[in-house]
Amino acid sequence: MTFINHMIPGHEAEGSGTPVYNPATGEQTATVASGGKAEVDAAVAAALKAFPDWAAAPPQKRARVMMKYVQLLQDNAAEIAKRISAEHGKTHDDALGEVQRGLEVVEFATGIASHLKGDFTRDVGPGIDSFNQRAPLGVCAGITPFNFPAMVPLWMFPVALACGNTFVLKPSERDPSAAMYVAELAIEAGVPEGALTVVHGGKDAVDALLTHPDVQAVSFVGSTPIAEYVYSTGTAHGKRVQALGGAKNHMVVMPDADMDQAADALMGAGYGSAGERCMAVSVAVPVGEETADKLVEKLAPRVRSLKIGPSTDSDAEMGPLVTKQHRDKVSGYIDKGVSEGADLVVDGRGFSLQGYENGYFIGGTLFDRVTPEMTIYKEEIFGPVLSVLRAASFEEAVTLINKHEYGNGTAIFTRDGDAARTFTDRIEVGMVGVNVPIPVPVAYHSFGGWKRSIFGSHGIYGPEGVHFYTKLKTVTSRWPTGIKEGAAFNFPTM
- The CATH number of the domain holding residue 428 is 3.40.309.10
- Judge whether residue 62 has pLDDT over 70: yes
Whether residue 493 is contained in a domain is answered as no
What secondary structure does DSSP assign to 349-387, as a single string?
A: TT---TT-TTS-----EEEES--TTSHHHHS---SSEEE
- Judge whether residue 483 has pLDDT over 70: no
Query: C-alpha distances in angstroms, 7 versus 13, 183, 208, 330?
Result: 10, 9, 17, 34
Whether residue 409 is contained in a domain is answered as yes
Whether residue 444 is contained in a domain is answered as no
Q: What is the DSSP letter of 275?
A: G
- In terms of domains, do 261 and 188 share one? no
- In terms of domains, do 31 and 82 share one? yes
Among all residues, which ones are annotated catalytic? 278
Whether residue 27 is contained in a domain is answered as yes
Give the integer Cα–Cα distance in Å for 238 and 252: 41
- In terms of domains, do 6 and 115 share one? yes
**pLDDT tens string 169-228:** 999 999 999 999 999 999 999 999 999 999 999 999 999 999 999 999 999 999 999 999
Domain count within the chain: 2
Q: How far is CA 261 from the centre of its chain?
A: 26
- In terms of domains, do 219 and 272 share one? no
Beta strands in 137-280 (DSSP E): 139-143, 166-170, 196-198, 215-221, 240-244, 249-253
Quick one: which of 5, 136, 119, 141 has its CA closest to 62? 136
Whether residue 330 is contained in a domain is answered as yes
Beta bridge partners of 132: 474
The parent domain of residue 127 ranges over 2-245+453-475
Q: Which helix (H) or strand (E) holds 31?
A: strand 27-33
Residues 335, 302 contacting (CB under 8 angstroms): no
Quick one: which of 153, 296, 293, 302 has its CA closest to 221? 153
**pLDDT tens string 384-422:** 999 999 999 999 999 999 999 999 999 999 999 999 999
Give the integer Cα–Cα distance in Å for 68 and 186: 9
CA dihedral (376, 382, 385, 389) positive or negative: positive
- Judge whether residue 126 has pLDDT over 90: no
- Residue 482 is predicted with a pLDDT of 65
Quick one: which of 220, 189, 198 has its CA closest to 109? 189
- In terms of domains, do 131 and 201 share one? yes
- In terms of domains, do 228 and 339 share one? no
Query: Averaged over 147-151, what is the pLDDT?
Result: 98
Whether residue 447 is contained in a domain is answered as no
Whether residue 373 is contained in a domain is answered as yes
Residue that wins the pLDDT comparison between 326 and 491: 326
- The one-letter amino acid at 62: R
Q: Which pTM was predicted?
A: 0.95
The phi, psi pair for 273, rounded to 5°, reads 55, 30
- In terms of domains, do 66 and 20 share one? yes
For strands 128-136 and 470-478, give the pairing: antiparallel
- In terms of domains, do 271 and 292 share one? yes
Quick one: which of 308, 378, 306 has its CA closest to 337? 378
- The CATH number of the domain holding residue 82 is 3.40.605.10
Assign 284 a pLDDT band (cuts: 50, 70, 90). Answer: very high
Give 75's contacts (C-beta < 8 A, 6+ positions apart). none
Give the integer Cα–Cα distance in Å for 17 and 36: 11
For strands 17-22 and 27-33, give the pairing: antiparallel
- Residue 491 is predicted with a pLDDT of 79
- In terms of domains, do 84 and 135 share one? yes
Query: Averaged over 88-109, what is the pLDDT?
Result: 97
Whether residue 86 is contained in a domain is answered as yes
3-state secondary structure of 42: helix
- In terms of domains, do 255 and 234 share one? no
Mean pLDDT of the chain: 96
- In terms of domains, do 267 and 225 share one? no
Give the integer Cα–Cα distance in Å for 172 and 176: 6
**pLDDT tens string 439-451:** 999 999 999 999 9
Assign 479 a pLDDT band (cuts: 50, 70, 90). Answer: confident
Residues 401, 429 contacting (CB under 8 angstroms): yes
Number of C-beta neighbours around residue 36 at 10 A:
16
- In terms of domains, do 213 and 274 share one? no
